[in-house]
Each structure stands twice: as structure tokens, then as C-alpha cells.
Amino acid sequence: MHFALRIVVLFVAAAVAFAVSGYAQHFVAIAFFPVAYPRPVNEMVVCAVVGAAAAALVASFPLAAAFRNRAWLAAAFVAAPVLVLRVPDVLFYSGASASVVMVMGAVESISYLLSLVVGAWLVSRWWPRSNPSLQRSAFGAR
């Protein structure tokens, strides 16, 4: 696969995974939990984990197709937008009394990164590959 096409797949997978994660979190919050402000931490954790799993489900297959054995590394790059947005929350609120923000930043960062990396690694491990022993050479049988 061409290098430019891999770069396009990487950025499209990052954008789609980010959007799917947000929509999945919003859908789970609306469908399964009553509207309450502020939301309880356990509901936010469930939504973050479901959003991370949905992002991994959507992004793992294109990454495995484009990057094969290095899909886990590409998945770490795909997780960068969420890490850039959530890790500063963890660092900024680490000594403050707003521990809910810090906990949610850590949970969302870790669950998003781990689900994408593990999902891409699992899909790339079992992605169908051509078997060279079944292919014939240009000069006939081996």
C-alpha cells in the first residue's frame, strides 16, 4: 500500500474513531441513564469505556488492513486526539479538589488508548493473509 494512502487512512481513522467515541458516549448516556446534572462518576465511566470500545471497533479494521503488523502503533497515533484533550486535565487537576475531572480524564485516556491498541493488535493478528505456499510462481509449480 502506498505511503500517502496509509497516511490518509491514519487521519481518517483518527477522525472517525473520535466522532464515533463521542456519539457512542452520548447515546449510552441518553439510552441507559436518567438525565441528572452533574452526572454520577460511574455513569461517566461506563460511557467512556463504551465510547472507547466503539472507537476501537470502527478503527481497528482499517488500521489492520493498512498497517498489518504495525497496526497497534498506528492505533496509538489514532488515540492522540483524546490524549491531547484529556491528559492536561489529569495534570492540571492532580493537586486540586476537583478529583472527578482528574479521574474521568485518566479513565477516558487509558480506556481509549488501550482499547484502540489492543483492538488493532488483535485484528491485525487474525487478519487474513495470503499464504505463499499456495501461490504458484510465474514458472510453474515449485
**pLDDT tens-digit map of 115-130:** 999 999 999 988 776 5
- Low-confidence residues of the chain: pLDDT under 50: 134, 142
The vertex-52 CA angle with 104 and 99, nearest 5°, equals 5
Task: Give domain status of residue 141, yes or no.
Answer: no
Task: Give domain status of residue 134, yes or no.
Answer: no
pLDDT of res. 101: 83
Task: Give domain status of residue 121, yes or no.
Answer: yes
pLDDT of res. 68: 86
Task: Give domain status of residue 133, yes or no.
Answer: no
pLDDT of res. 55: 96
Number of domains comprising the chain:
1
The widest CA-to-CA distance across the chain, in whole angstroms, is 73
**Strand ranges for the chain from DSSP E:** none
Q: Classify 93 as helix, strand or coil.
A: coil
Task: Give domain status of residue 76, yes or no.
Answer: yes
The answer to whether residues 68 and 8 touch, using CB atoms and an 8 Å cutoff, is no
The vertex-51 CA angle with 68 and 65, nearest 5°, equals 15
Task: Give domain status of residue 22, yes or no.
Answer: yes
pLDDT of res. 102: 87
Which amino acid, residue 43? E
pLDDT of res. 98: 66
Task: Give domain status of residue 132, yes or no.
Answer: no
Task: Give domain status of residue 104, yes or no.
Answer: yes
pLDDT of res. 103: 86
pLDDT of res. 60: 94
Tell me which residue range forms the domain holding 116: 3-127
pLDDT of res. 136: 54
